């Protein structure tokens, strides 16, 4: 969880983790699901896929369909995804007094590179 970057300031990052996501209580944020489209992982190419699963943030699970691009190149697959998490979906409260300064949603960008595991000998 603590691996997020891209905050506007250190204070924002601190608030994000301590007050809103409350990583002390909920250290793990995860997404479990499956890819709806049928992808042949052996074929090189760029695909737009959608994954349906449960997004677990701040103790609340929400079923989401998340769109990503999948780039398969030989031995590795690169996943890039952009999606928003609505604070209200995951029980994250913002004190009213600062609500004007804080957006009601979190914009998330994910970049991941997957390496093909060599076949076991």
Partner 1 sequence: MLKALFLLVGLLLQWAIAYGQAPLLRSHPNKEFPDVKPTTLFQSREGWIWLGGEGGLLRFDGQHFEQFPLPDSNDLQVTAIYESSDRLWVGFQSGKIAYLESRLSNWPVANLSLEPQPFHYWSLEAAQLTSAISGFLLDSSGNLWISTYGDGLYCWSEGSMYRFNEQDETISSNDIYQMVLGADNRIWVATDAGISICSLTAAGQKRVQRLGTADGLPDEIVTCLLPDPSGNMWIGTYDHGVCRYNIGKAVFDFGTPDWSLGHVSAMATFGNQEIWVGTNKNGLHCIDIPAGTIRVQSPDAPIGKLKINALLKDREGQIWLLADRNNLYSLNIAFGLLETPDKDVQSILVDKHENIWVGTAKGLYLQQSGGFKNLLPRENILSIAELSDGTMLAGSFGNGLWIMSPKGGKIRHMTENEGIPNGSILSITTDVDGFWLATLGGAARCSWQAPFAPQDCICETLQDLGANYVYKVFKDKKGRVWFGTDGKGLFMLFNGSLRQFKEINGKTIRTVYDIEEDYKGQIWFTTAANGLYRWDGSSFFNYTISQQLHSNAIQSLNLDNKGKLLLGYEDGLDIFNTVIGHVAFQNNSTGLPAQSFNLNADCRDAKGNIWLGSSTGVMKYTSTQESFHYDPTPSITAVTVFMKAIDFSKIHAFQYDQNYMVLHFAGLWFTNPDQVRFRYKMEGYDLDWKVTKDHLASYSNLPDGHYLFRVQTSEHGSFDHTPEASYAFSISKAFWRTWWFIGLSCFTLAGVFYFWINGRENRFQREALLRKEKADSQFAALKSQINPHFLFNSFNTLITIIEEQPKTAVEYVEHLSDFYRSMMSYREKDFISLQDEMAIVHDFYYLLQKRFEDNFHLQSPTQIPNGFIMPLTLQMLVENAVKHNVISKAHPLQIDIFIENAQWMVVRNNLQSKIIADPSTHFGLRSLIERYSLVSSQKVIVEKPPPILLLRCP
Tell me which residues touch partner 1 (CB under 8 A).
36-37, 50, 52, 65, 67, 88
Spell out where the chain has E strands: 30-35, 45-57, 60-73, 76-86, 105-115
Radius of gyration of the chain (CA): 17
C-alpha distance from residue 31 to each of 19, 48, 119 (Å): 22, 18, 27
DSSP 11: H
Smallest separation (angstroms) from partner 1 to the CB of 46: 17
Nearer to partner 1, 44 or 88 (CB): 88
Smallest separation (angstroms) from partner 1 to the CB of 7: 26
Nearer to partner 1, 15 or 50 (CB): 50
Smallest separation (angstroms) from partner 1 to the CB of 36: 5
């Amino acid at each position: 969880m603590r691996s997020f970057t891209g905050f506007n300031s250190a204070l924002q990052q601190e608030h994000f983790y301590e007050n809103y996501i409350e990583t002390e209580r909920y250290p793990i944020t995860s997404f479990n699901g499956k890819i709806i489209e049928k992808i042949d992982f052996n074929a090189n190419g760029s695909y737009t896929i959608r994954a349906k699963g449960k997004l677990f943030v701040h103790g609340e699970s929400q079923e989401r369909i998340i769109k990503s691009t999948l780039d398969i190149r030989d031995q590795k697959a690169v996943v890039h995804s952009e999606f928003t998490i609505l604070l209200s979906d995951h029980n994250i409260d913002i004190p009213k007094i600062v609500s004007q300064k804080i957006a009601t949603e979190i914009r998330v960008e994910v970049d991941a590179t997957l390496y093909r595991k060599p076949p076991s000998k």
